[in-house]
Structure 1
């Protein structure tokens, strides 16, 4: 049985808490590894290690830090297949989907390679008589990331790449459900030339999380997960004076206008709603056709596509999606389907009885499709995080616009239409952080910023893009005056430029 410890000070170490968690292989339902769960003392040791290593790293010039990022990209490409296989076997997503997970993370590493430019300050010569003013960006010190199971490669890289490029040391607390890939990424960073102690991976549960939040040497925390935990982490981090960017749940809507290309729309809904078994914070989980005729055309095309989804083991390259991450996750999603039926929604496709031949103990579930869902229902209000799509029929455009705008979550939304005026109006008015126009999963590219509104995001600065550099640095402004031989005498009023 494989045993997973922690990665601290440039090497993997065994856990000493005596507590472990099972890491399952979702395809088979079998336990494939045990991962150590860190104590508060173990977390403190990792933080002290990072604190000792950080000053020398901060003093390393940005160009040399960028070269290490470039070398990491090269090594990650070398081990691409190995990383994807481990990710698929621990998470359950298919290997092609796992490669997408890795690639979207590497794109943020590519962005971080531009750190010599991204950290440049500003300079004003002659701001006053003989006075120059300039600003500089400096790293915070030791920062941390608490990342979820559903993107075990992408989101850790979204966090640690810009943070480390800025000159910080980083503590990564990944999900204990699939910790293998984060450990591998830390090893690759070390091989790329990152000094020991700058990237540490400490596996754990709530005890490790609270240790991060309460530690005085952690200056900033990034989190992705559920909204209740995001709010908890944001509030507890703020109480101890930390910066925090915490991203929570989602209920992403797709608005289907009467003029939409229905075949392209259904393709988009199938991929965005059921890919990765729906375990994505940017998954489309609500389809909103505008008008009864649009709804009827949508359901006519959607039902057979959901019925014919190919579910398979993660290693099957032809599968549309694989198993869910754990049996608990599977039972939770089935519970939501039962709730939807009880609430009066019409279950047009029921995938709860799906069994994978030869993998009967795996965590598989067929696609489910609800029709006639209403905003009062629990299955509309809450994030299901599984292969379940709900159809909410809207009478007109204004009702369709209100649905995502009034929902407590505001992560992503999409509109499908041929009408440029409608799309422009929707993008301007909808109360959601990321908008797709004929794009079902509007995850911005790495040099833009990623973040939702309302209960999907807590904190002022988002992930990757320019916001990540602002989040992981502090600005220092210097006002400089060199004596010119003129003695003006003491001034007792506030300085001005008059």
Structure 2
């Protein structure tokens, strides 16, 4: 409406043209669907470059678009690795790029895309903390920690990877977490009994597993070793690493601060709410956090201070 007498202000929203999405392996349908419905609804053509580790979901979505009557060329799929990414970032016809993945690659996509004059949104890594106060229901906390820590084998950006246990509940909480972890069934996705599957590649499994020895070297206690977890049907040649729990993880250690992106739950002991809050706020990663307490005032305070 009018800004002042005889002065109007209005916005014109126009499509950019061709836009691209570069998406990760862990949610090969959901993450692209964050991007292309909005892009296409706004009048853009969309080019999807999915992870080379699981390309088939992108082809299924393209076929569904085609069956729905979308004109050819409005939704396209480009398979490939870094070479395909670089071509999209450099191509003069691509006006904007969305990316979800690790922080180093997000930084590369952002810098390269911006250098070529593109609009870029790049979503990187995470290190999500759960703060547990002494008055919390520890059975509820343990259930949540196991579900949030080991769902999708920990290969998701919203996984809870650090539990901050405020004294004196740490020992009891770890005991309850271990009880639940030992009941988890690890196996292939086509077995309905399986509650957690393998990791995406051998190289990634080995990288995640390396944090178990690193954690011990840094002073943590390896309470549950996922390398020893039984697997339905046997390990065979699968990329298996069972749910792992590290206790007494030192604040600031690599195990605490780096995004592991696997089924490794780190328990950090803190003396107070204030110390736990400081640990969360000093982290270099964001994304998500949670507090478990029966104190509504503490929960509201956390909401504003974190």
Q: 1:413 aligns with which of 278, 289, 293?
A: 289
Partners of 2:143 and 2:224 lie apart in 1 by 17
Deviations 1:23-75, CA, capped at 9 Å, x for gaps: xxxxxxxxxxxxxxxxxxxxxxxxxxxxxxxxxxxxxxxxxxxxxxxxxxxxx
Partners of 1:132 and 1:396 lie apart in 2 by 55
Q: 2:5 aligns with which of 128, 145, 159?
A: 128
Deviations 1:163-215, CA, capped at 9 Å, x for gaps: 11111001110000001011101110111121110111101111111111111
**Larger Rg belongs to:** 1
Deviation at residue 267 of structure 1 after TM alignment: 0.8
Residue in 1 aligned with 2:241? 365
Partners of 2:17 and 2:228 lie apart in 1 by 51
Cα root mean square deviation, aligned:
1.4
Deviation at residue 338 of structure 1 after TM alignment: 1.5
Secondary structure (helix, strand or coil) at the match of 2:129 reads: strand
Deviation at residue 136 of structure 1 after TM alignment: 2.5
Residue in 2 aligned with 1:375? 251
TM superposition outliers: structure 1 runs of 4+ over 6 Å: none
- Extract unaligned runs of 5+ from structure 2: none
Deviation at residue 125 of structure 1 after TM alignment: 5.9
- Extract unaligned runs of 5+ from structure 1: 1-123, 431-498
Residue in 1 aligned with 2:208? 333
> What are the within-5 Å matches in structure 2 for residues 390-401 of structure 1?
390-401=266-277
Contact 1:127 1:133 in 2 (8 A): no
Contact 1:252 1:410 in 2 (8 A): yes
Count of aligned pairs: 305
Contact 2:219 2:250 in 1 (8 A): no
Secondary structure (helix, strand or coil) at the match of 2:40 reads: helix
Residue in 2 aligned with 1:342? 217
Residue in 2 aligned with 1:321? 196
Contact 1:224 1:248 in 2 (8 A): yes
Residue in 2 aligned with 1:182? 58
Q: TM-score, normalised by structure 1?
A: 0.60
> What are the within-5 Å matches in structure 2 for residues 158-177 of structure 1?
158-177=34-53
Alignment of 1:308 with 2:173, yes or no, is no
Residue in 2 aligned with 1:151? 27
Residue in 2 aligned with 1:387? 263
Q: TM-score, normalised by structure 2?
A: 0.96
Contact 2:52 2:81 in 1 (8 A): yes
